[in-house]
Structure 1
Amino acid sequence: MQYQHTPVLPEQLISGMQIKSGGIYLDCTVGGGGHSALILQKFADIKLVAIDHDAMAIAAAQANLSIFGDRIKFWHGNFSQYQPEQKFDGIIADLGVSSAQLDIPERGFSFRDCGDLDMRMDQSQSLTAADIINNFGETELAKIFFELGEERYSYRIARAIANARPLHTTTQLADVIFHAVPRNYRYGRIHPATRVFQALRITVNQELKSLETLLEKSPDWLEAGGKIGIISFHSLEDRIVKHRLKEDDRLRVETKKPIMASESETLTNPRSRSAKLRIATKTSYED
């Protein structure tokens, strides 16, 4: 299926990063290449390295960004494992699951349509959401749902899952969760399976651990005066980004409050509603 993705906060990100002529930039989550294209279009002498651990995303970005020729290089893998060969004038990361991944049922990120319980961003890895759901103990499942999904009915849901196993599809799991929670909780602002699916995805892909590693390493990848811009989509990610940027002596935070999508953007791209952008600048301080 075609990989399509609308980048969030595009104008705010490009403006905040203060893209400069002759710069070298790193896109840690290239996806379909939307943000990278905007950076490369700013000046004809800009170069960029694009990373993604989803092979489908890399293939789509290579096709979408082919017009930029050798100005862009690609690296397939988790950004936490990347080892740069040069320093950058700016680093960006658009965290979480993309629109394209959500819209392809076979990937298992959404319960809107029936698909395998997969959720792997890197499909060469072995661990899937089905492995977690069908093999982890009740207590471990409840801990994952509570800590990574902030789900208050975590134990109740974990018990229902254990009693219903084996589960193989996204819709099977969503139905078990729906009937596990109290009736007045089933018809809230979001579907009761939403937080569990978030927690599973984070666990499968070790997203928070990878983010922590990126925030620890990436300031050393920046030139003095270079900027890092991180877009997050839920409170767990944003909390980590906020505190790590603030606590890092190598960085100066430029966004006292996160930059969020305008009303017009949320109307045309509803998934931008929860996006938060934080930006920091590399100071000249060195250990």
Structure 2
Amino acid sequence: MCGRYASFRQAQDLADIFDVAVVAEDAAELPPSWNVAPTDGARVVLERTVQPEPEEHAAPGTRAAKAPAPGASADAVRREMHLARWGLVPHWAKDLSAGAKMINARMESVGSKSAFATPLRTKRCLVVADGYYEWQKPAAGAGRTAKKTPFFIRPADGSPLAFAGLYSWWRRPGDPAAPWQLTCTILTTAAVGPMGELHDRVPVILSRNHVDPWLDRSVTNADEALAVARQPGPELTWYEVSTQVNAVRNDGPELVAAVAP
């Protein structure tokens, strides 16, 4: 599964890597974190169909996209980065607390769950990160006092991660004046190979050449979207880190420092 991750790159660096045209101000101003936890703010990349506007008319809270090329359609798909609350809240939920149980969506059942079925078809995103944590259970016979061992997992080439995510917009029912809240979840699947030695579940991580198909708004068939998510992800590496990461109050680059086994 994925219940804690690190995200410490600058928003513009991520925007350059993932070809993002517009970065929302709250996403740009989000401080780095080495211990992002459920219900925290998460940077997400998504695509929207918009009517391009001149830079001087850009919407508040965003950095303007480049002007459309001559002869381009009046409506265009624009890739944007936003700040979302980690834990998807369906539009019909009564309050935000519903998202605490929806930080992950299982690949095996995501298409049949009412909270995830529509986002899978029409609201897919990337949850971008630098790496994530997983806790390995103690070896058999280690005793009751033995603790789980945390590991930090990241791409072997040092590039950022692109978790396959879903998003939803939520507003407090019965309050049309309430602001809209963007929320998200991360897909998970069964672990295979060496990763299974750490945990039986892993987040779905997209390789760079599968980012575009996953975000493609013209794909509205759930099976077609899931076929993209099933493709092999990037090569990963992992190493043991300090148990300081166990407490969400702890944060800082020391959390991703390797420790001796």
Higher relative contact order (CA 8 A, sep 6+): 2
Q: TM-score w.r.t. structure 1 length?
A: 0.27
Higher normalized strand content (fraction of residues): 2
TM-score (norm 2): 0.29
